[in-house]
Amino acid sequence: MDEKDREILRVLESDSRVGAEDLGTMLSLSPSEVQARIGTLEKAGVLRKYTAIIDWKKAGEDGVVALVELKVSPEREFGYDRIADRIARFPEVKSLRLVTGTYDFQVIVTGRTMQEIAEFVSGQIASLENIKETVTHIVMKTYKEHGCELQRSEGLERLPYSF
């Protein structure tokens, strides 16, 4: 893992579609070296997934996103990890984090309707062992996702010619 690897990762994080050829040109590496480095990063589990950021509202999908706070009692032997693993395996769970503060887990859950979310949280999550309390916040509007400001068009107004 060196600076070139990190540069590759930074580019891919901002645009995962950049190919090895272009990456090589941008970073002064040969395409085959880029390919090799990417392969190593993938195998090592550093590069996890190539994905897209989608404004589902604009796509006409009226799905619901909820932020769920969980208070749990850690297990004597496993701490938080085994409970986390159980929660993480649900496809409805988009992200899961252990945080400091007044609750333990922050979970992002998606569903088609509010009802679906309510059923999922009460039926699947709240009923797990060791869950002491859940608080569900329904997302009203997403302003920024993965560093991408959804409510603002990118770019700025510039004169077409300036010296």
Residue of 27, 98, 118, 150 that binds other proteins (CB under 8 A): 27
When the beta carbons of 3 and 62 are compared against other proteins, the nearer one is 3
53 belongs to the binding site for other proteins (CB under 8 A): no
Place of tokens 């619901």: 64
160 belongs to the binding site for other proteins (CB under 8 A): yes
Separation CA 143–CA 131 (nearest Å): 30
C-beta atoms surrounding 121 within 10 Å: 21
Shortest Å distance, C-beta 2 to other proteins = 15
Separation CA 103–CA 37 (nearest Å): 40
Q: Phi-psi bin for 78: left (phi > 0), alpha (psi -120 to 50), beta?
A: alpha
143 belongs to the binding site for other proteins (CB under 8 A): no
Residue of 28, 51, 151, 153 that binds other proteins (CB under 8 A): 28
Shortest Å distance, C-beta 10 to other proteins = 8
- DSSP per-residue codes, 77-92: TTBTHHHHHHHHTSTT
Residue of 7, 33, 69, 116 that binds other proteins (CB under 8 A): 7
Separation CA 71–CA 39 (nearest Å): 39
Binding residues for other proteins (CB under 8 A): 7, 10-11, 15, 18, 22, 25-28, 155-156, 158-163
